Structure 1
Amino acid sequence: MILRWLLFASFSVHVFAVCDDPNAQVIIVGGGPAGIYAATGLIEQHGIEDFLMLEETDRPEGYLYPIDFGGLSFRPGALYGLTPIKPLMMELGIGLVATDNSSYTVYNYNGEDVTAEAREREAAYVAAREKGLPLADDIDRCLRPRPDIPYKAKLGVNGWVAKSDIDKTMEWFNFDFNEGLSTRDVSTGWTYRQAMANLFPDKCFITGRARIILDGMLEQITPARIALNSRTVNVTQTDECVIVTTSDGTEYVGEYAIITNSVGVIQNGGVTFEPSLPPWKSEEFFRYQMGTLDAIFLKFDTKFWDDTEYILHATDRHGYYPAFLNLEAEGYHPAGTNILIGFLTGDEAYRAEHLSDEEVQAEVIGVLRDMYGESNVPDPTEFYMSRFATDVDIYGSFSAYPIGIPPEDSQMRLKGPTGRLYFAPEDAADIHIGNPFGSVLDGFFAAGGVAGCIQNQECDDYTPDRSICKPRPVKQRKNMN
């Protein structure tokens, strides 16, 4: 008993001493787009410059990090720009190519061109999707006369069941390719909310320097306000301050903290919290799933493939190297680039990430040889594969909305503060979860909450409202006598 008291007393003295000498008013955990926009929100909108951003890597840019491949520069984490952020990217002069999802050639594993049949089946898929658009407006917050269900179930009700190899590929191309997950994993209501907001399939391939979108923001943040190679592993909150501990044992202290880690990082214990997050908060983080879109870059000495933008692979194994982007298609890169980008999502991405580069290359080249013939497909001269599902900085590419949860309630739980901690996961950005614009919105939202607490002493104290649901009507039994 005495030992327990001594340990508690020692901890208390340490905490109070640390809280008396903070490093900054606000500690921002994560230096990706959400963290950078949270920082600039504090500066531009609220005049708060006393903050410190902790970035786990050697660069404050998150998923916008570049790779050099085939003499060109790519950002595997941001290959495409979606509708909400496209005007801003154009204004900044970032090179974009409007993709044409109708420009594709489809081969089966026997090398037969089945494009005509694929177009017919795609039309059937689109018809089933469009038939369900009114559902998003019909889902009531509590009674839900038309309950939310997995998107796969709604497609089935509307007449679409992916049975054939071609069906599976066209479903992947029109859904998994956007979400990073299959139709069984994603909310019907959420999917149609996105569709009605025109968030897909309208997207652009980024050929320019996407990091420009952060350059103006970073110019406002002095280097002294960024601690690189500082991976946060623990966040301890007291009545007086927040203590953030990095992987090398360094402690950073702030009056408040903005947490920008992805759902995947929190789910996998990349950051722990003391005391633990309230059950309503933890439960909400675990409701979400992280989708994965991995890119496989292949450079060849010669071009052996079709001139369409996409070359699709029809196989009975859903998502097994189903699509390749032709970077020599019109508007992309000059002739002689000789680069294909293959894509994997969801379970197949996770599986492939546990293989070596050599094993993945053997699989993907095997698929291309099935499609174009053994003698027509040489080994690539360069190879690169992103591995987002197992990347400890994110554990996935972007999040997907959970099934059966009212969006407004769920997103408020995600970004609602707990004491001195404010949260900015892109998952809480209404219809913009899963794209960079969501990070921007959540960063600004968190900055506003912290600023209100610092400057006006108006601190948010969020607790989920569990009284919003009306009681269900009692069923009346008929008297059959």
Structure 2
Amino acid sequence: MTDFLIVEYQDRIGGRLHEVEFGTKSDGSPYIVEAGANWVEGLGGAGHPENPIFSLARKHGISALKTDYKNKMTYDKTGNKDYSKVMDNFAAAMRRVVVQAGSSLKENVQDKTLRAALRLVGWNPAPDNSHAQLAEWFGCDFESSYTPEENSAVFSSVADNATFAHFSDDNLFVYDQRGYSTIIRGEAATFLTPNDPRLLLNTIVTAVNYTDESVTVSTKDGTCIEADYVISTFSLGVLQRDVVEFYPPFPSWKKSAIASFEIGTYTKIFLQFEKAFWPNSQYLLWADPRERGYYPLFQPLDLPGVLPGSGIIMGTVVNRHAHRAEAQTDQETQDEIMEVLRTMYGKDIPDPKAIYYPRWSQEPWSYGSYSNWPPSTSLQAHQNLRANIGRLFFAGEATSQEFYGYLHGAYYEGRAVGEMLATCIEEPVKCTDKDGQPRYQTLTGVTPYDMYNEQHGWSVDTTI
């Protein structure tokens, strides 16, 4: 198939796989750091299938550091403090939750929040227990960008198992100075020529009009593109903001699905110093005594075999603290970070000579970093997020049920929709709306209406 157009908001391909220039080398040239996705997660091998992203990373010779979660140092307000045992206890609690979640899924037991599931296995730390709160952040928020209160117990466990049990526990941190999106450019080069007219960069979609016969895409520059089929890979954040007009308006089942899932913000903050003052550990963890998730993690890039001599360190904040940092100036964020680092390493450490961080929640082509599955939803609700409407199809990490939030989730969803469209193109009669992906017009609750009675303490008619 060669008759296609790729319509891209930005001046590059890759989306949330996005490298940027940062800092300076001794020769005056910049380093390359990843503003977006940074890991190959769940590599596979040794009796497990290989993650397709790992396959692409190997194919294109991506430089990456094997993640070692034990290679860490922990700090609190007193300085260096070993509370790794607390972190081990949380990891053990999470393993018990995953086992119970698997049983709940098989037996169709009502879902609960991850917080509730943790309490049931004996993990319930006080809010002022800074070590336990840091352990929780590192084991939960760092992965999903959401707190245990905001995560589904069942489906967060599904996502964990689908990646790390199905493939493997091994991860790679990409530091390739060509950029992680080298894999995207490399694959695109197999079917796109230089300056290919089928790739429309810097093109902003404003409206999508879909009928039973065709789909018309309107752009900000006044262009109209008519196609037999369209694949929408807008992020969940873009769909939730209604910045693109769809006509006719989405049916209620699709609107409800878009509204029911979440997109988190995961913000990496890069700082460059004249020289490193931190130890050569992959993870430097800070248990703030007042606020959970307040600049809790720093990852040195100035490590042997990575970017030695760069003086670069990367901090991470998510959601509430990410939104706050993204709303303030670089200088304000730098001042806050330096207060933490000086508590960790001494008051005399110098200011950085450069700082950079993306503002994912403000980007009009993403409005967030990646999706998450909250409690009180279902596979049927998520299937409605995935499902096509006639000739309009949807793909991206958010539509992946087992791998949402992961790069390989976007890969699998793109491939699945591509295969479906190949069938549609060959035999259009087999690709009517009713023959497309399953969708559920009505999502039922867990309690029949006739059980809302006085026997259960329900005496007032609240349907009035």
TM-score (norm 1): 0.82
The aligned residue for residue 270 of structure 2 is 297
Compute the displacement of 1:202 (Å): 3.7
Read off the aligned partner of 1:369 and give its amino acid letter: R
Compute the displacement of 1:349 (Å): 0.4
State the percentage of identical aligned residues.
Answer: 30
Alignment of 1:133-212 (within 5 A): 133-140=98-105, 144=108, 146-163=109-126, 164-199=129-164, 202-208=170-176, 209-212=179-182
Compute the displacement of 1:92 (Å): 2.6
The aligned residue for residue 365 of structure 2 is 393
Q: Where in structure 1 are there 5+ consecutive unaligned residues?
A: 1-47
Higher relative contact order (CA 8 A, sep 6+): 1
Q: Identify which range, 449-458 or 52-61, moves more after superposition.
A: 449-458
Which digits, 9 at most, give the CA deviation of each residue in 1:288-334, with x for residues without a partner? 11122111100101221122211111113011100000113344222
The aligned residue for residue 4 of structure 2 is 51
Secondary structure in 2 matching 1:139? helix
The aligned residue for residue 306 of structure 2 is 332
Which digits, 9 at most, give the CA deviation of each residue in 1:372-393, with x for residues without a partner? 2221x21101110121122111
The aligned residue for residue 367 of structure 1 is 340
Q: 1:201 to 1:369 in 2, by over 3 A?
A: farther
Q: 1:471 to 1:330 in 2, by over 3 A?
A: closer
Structure 1: distance between partners of 2:362 and 2:445: 42
The aligned residue for residue 266 of structure 1 is 239
Which digits, 9 at most, give the CA deviation of each residue in 1:125-158, with x for residues without a partner? 11211112222332358x83x3211111211221
Q: Does structure 2 conserve the Cα–Cα contact (< 8 Å) formed by 1:422 and 1:449?
A: no
Which digits, 9 at most, give the CA deviation of each residue in 1:25-61, with x for residues without a partner? xxxxxxxxxxxxxxxxxxxxxxx21111110011122
Structure 1: distance between partners of 2:286 and 2:447: 48
Q: Does structure 1 conserve the Cα–Cα contact (< 8 Å) formed by 2:253 and 2:442?
A: no
Q: Does structure 2 conserve the Cα–Cα contact (< 8 Å) formed by 1:414 and 1:425?
A: no
The aligned residue for residue 327 of structure 2 is 354
Read off the aligned partner of 2:230 and give its amino acid letter: A
Q: Identify which range, 444-453 or 390-399, moves more after superposition.
A: 444-453
Q: Does structure 1 conserve the Cα–Cα contact (< 8 Å) formed by 2:264 and 2:318?
A: yes
Q: 1:65 to 1:137 in 2, by over 3 A?
A: closer
Q: Where in structure 2 are there 5+ consecutive unaligned residues?
A: 24-29, 43-50, 456-464
Secondary structure in 2 matching 1:210? coil
Structure 2: distance between partners of 1:468 and 1:55: 34
Compute the displacement of 1:100 (Å): 1.0
1:67 aligns with 2:37: no
Secondary structure in 2 matching 1:297? strand
TM-score (norm 2): 0.85
The aligned residue for residue 462 of structure 2 is none
1:218 aligns with 2:188: yes
Read off the aligned partner of 1:157 and give its amino acid letter: L
Q: How many residue pairs end up in the alignment?
A: 422
Q: Report the aligned-residue RMSD.
A: 2.4
The aligned residue for residue 402 of structure 2 is 431
Structure 1: distance between partners of 2:446 and 2:200: 51
Alignment of 1:399-410 (within 5 A): 399-407=371-379, 409-410=380-381
